[in-house]
């Protein structure tokens, strides 16, 4: 498969499943096809289920924000294959650094649906314990987490983790096309390649950095950014869950074996708004959206499963029932969240106790109880450089 950029240059793109749900046997893709062939019918139905549940989560979260229950929300509709396919390639010991739109990745990693929305409701600074699921909390600062992922991967090296494609540890970080213009992402790739860090840079190119199209950000395909830094790089059809899985599995195995970082560009489309504060009708047409609606990743996988006799109405009904249950639980769970204790701001700032943070916490607790003692105020004010 080839896609084009703004100058109509043909770009090689890995595809194993076409928009009609037919397996593709393009020359040169046998290694990837073999990886996808290892997925059992049960695996594929699991992918279908997680993609459907991710979309239902997305719809419910968007509705909750419109009803005033969330301050903001970043939809992921249309990107389910890129997220679920890549997450299925992860092993339990691998670590994920998401941005703020990787709801499908967190679905596969088992992060509770209500916990995923604590941050967007403003009741928590994160939402879940990253060590419980080997998945970091959402990062809203564009591209900053690419450095965190690379640092974590360098730590994995220094911990002496086994170099084994199954038992080794890899790190994956997700970001969008707009983040490739950020210095943090490029700096992370410098550190990753120089140190041969076991990290996969997974770009979800949904073609819009808020309202800026990719053509306004780059003159060359984005996967070539990785090549420029000296790492194996590949563009895949981001609406093809099989291609995404195979490409990510290969990159993660390379990382676990100590062969350094990789760069994957999943070429997809953001069917909804950038966030619920955005109005995409101001910068793109419904004709564009219709083209990508016909490439829907869930419909594509469903067509494959039906053609191969692995998806019946009973299973579809079961998944729909699970989606309905998710919706009910998410609505009631989010509405039951309180605002959180303000003093929790001081929790988990550093890995170990810190004197300045401790003094500021003491001052705040005294303030909440009444007027803080003058000496505590002086300590806090000094720690903050004299600024209140």
- Based on the domain organization, do 29 and 148 belong to the same domain? yes
Active site residue 295: no
Q: Is 56 assigned a catalytic role?
A: no
Q: What is the pLDDT of residue 376?
A: 53
Confidence of residue 372 (pLDDT cuts 50, 70, 90): low
Same domain, yes or no: 317 and 347? no
Half-sphere exposure of 46 (CA within 13 A, CB side): 13
Whether residues 35 and 88 share a domain: the answer is yes
- Of 166, 283, 293, 294, which residue is the catalytic one? 283
Candidate list 77, 101, 256, 274, residue with the active-site label: 274
Q: Has 256 been annotated as catalytic?
A: no
What pLDDT was estimated at residue 388? 43
User: How far is 33 from 275, CA to CA, in rounded Å?
Assistant: 35
State whether 59 and 196 are in the same domain: yes
**SS3 call for 255:** helix
Are 205 and 317 members of one domain?
yes
Number of domains in the chain: 2
49, 270, 295, 300: the active-site residue: 270
CATH classification of the domain holding 240: 3.40.50.970
What pLDDT is recorded for position 7?
45
Convert 100-117 into a string of H (helix), E (strand) and C (coil). CCCHHHHHHHCCCHHHHH
Report which of 160, 235, 233, 146 is spatially closest to residue 191, judged by C-alpha positions. Answer: 146
**Integer angstrom CA distances of residue 177 from 18, 59, 96, 99, 111:** 23, 23, 18, 12, 25
pLDDT of residue 224: 95
Q: Which residues of 318-331 are buried (b: 16+ CB within 10 A; e: fewer)?
A: ebeeebeebbeebb
Task: Examine the domain organization and report whether 194 and 225 are in the same domain.
Answer: yes
Count of C-beta atoms within a 10 Å radius of residue 346: 15
What tens digit of pLDDT does each residue of 144-200 get?
A: 999 999 999 999 999 989 999 999 999 999 999 999 999 999 999 999 999 999 999
Range of the domain at 355: 342-386
């Amino acid at each position: 498969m080839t896609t084009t950029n703004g100058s109509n240059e043909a770009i090689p793109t890995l595809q194993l499943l076409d928009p009609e749900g037919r397996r593709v046997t393009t020359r040169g893709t046998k290694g990837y096809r073999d990886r996808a062939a290892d997925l059992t019918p049960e695996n594929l139905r699991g992918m279908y289920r997680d993609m459907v549940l991710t979309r239902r989560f997305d719809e419910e979260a968007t509705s909750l924000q419109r009803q005033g229950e969330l301050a903001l929300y970043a939809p992921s509709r249309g990107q389910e294959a890129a997220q679920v396919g890549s997450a299925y390639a992860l092993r339990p010991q691998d670590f994920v650094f998401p941005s703020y739109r990787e709801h499908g990745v967190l679905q596969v990693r088992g992060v509770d649906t209500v916990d995923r929305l604590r941050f967007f409701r403003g009741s928590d600074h994160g939402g879940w314990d990253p060590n419980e699921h080997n998945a970091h909390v959402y990062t809203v600062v564009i591209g900053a987490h690419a450095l965190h992922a690379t640092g974590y991967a360098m730590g994995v090296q220094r911990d002496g983790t086994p170099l084994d494609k199954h038992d080794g540890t890899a790190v994956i970080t997700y970001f969008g096309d707009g983040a490739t213009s950020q210095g943090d992402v490029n700096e992370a790739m410098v550190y990753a390649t120089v140190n041969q860090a076991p990290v996969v840079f997974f770009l979800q190119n949904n073609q819009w950095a808020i309202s800026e199209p990719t053509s306004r950000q780059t003159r060359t395909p984005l996967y070539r950014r990785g090549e420029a830094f000296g790492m194996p790089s590949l563009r895949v059809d981001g609406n093809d869950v099989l291609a995404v899985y195979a490409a990510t599995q290969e990159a993660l195995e390379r990382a676990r074996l100590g062969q350094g970082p990789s760069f994957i560009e999943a070429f997809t489309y953001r069917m909804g708004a950038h966030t619920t504060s955005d109005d995409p009708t101001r910068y793109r047409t419904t004709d564009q959206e219709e083209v990508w609606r016909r490439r829907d990743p869930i419909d594509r996988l469903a067509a494959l499963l039906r053609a191969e006799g692995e998806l019946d109405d009973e299973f579809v009904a079961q998944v729909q029932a699970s989606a309905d249950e998710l919706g009910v639980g998410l609505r009631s769970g989010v509405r039951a969240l309180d605002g959180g204790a303000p003093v929790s701001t001081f929790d988990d700032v550093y890995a170990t106790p810190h004197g300045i943070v401790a003094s500021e916490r003491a001052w705040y607790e005294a303030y909440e109880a009444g007027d803080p003692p003058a000496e505590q105020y002086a300590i806090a004010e000094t720690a903050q450089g004299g600024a209140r």
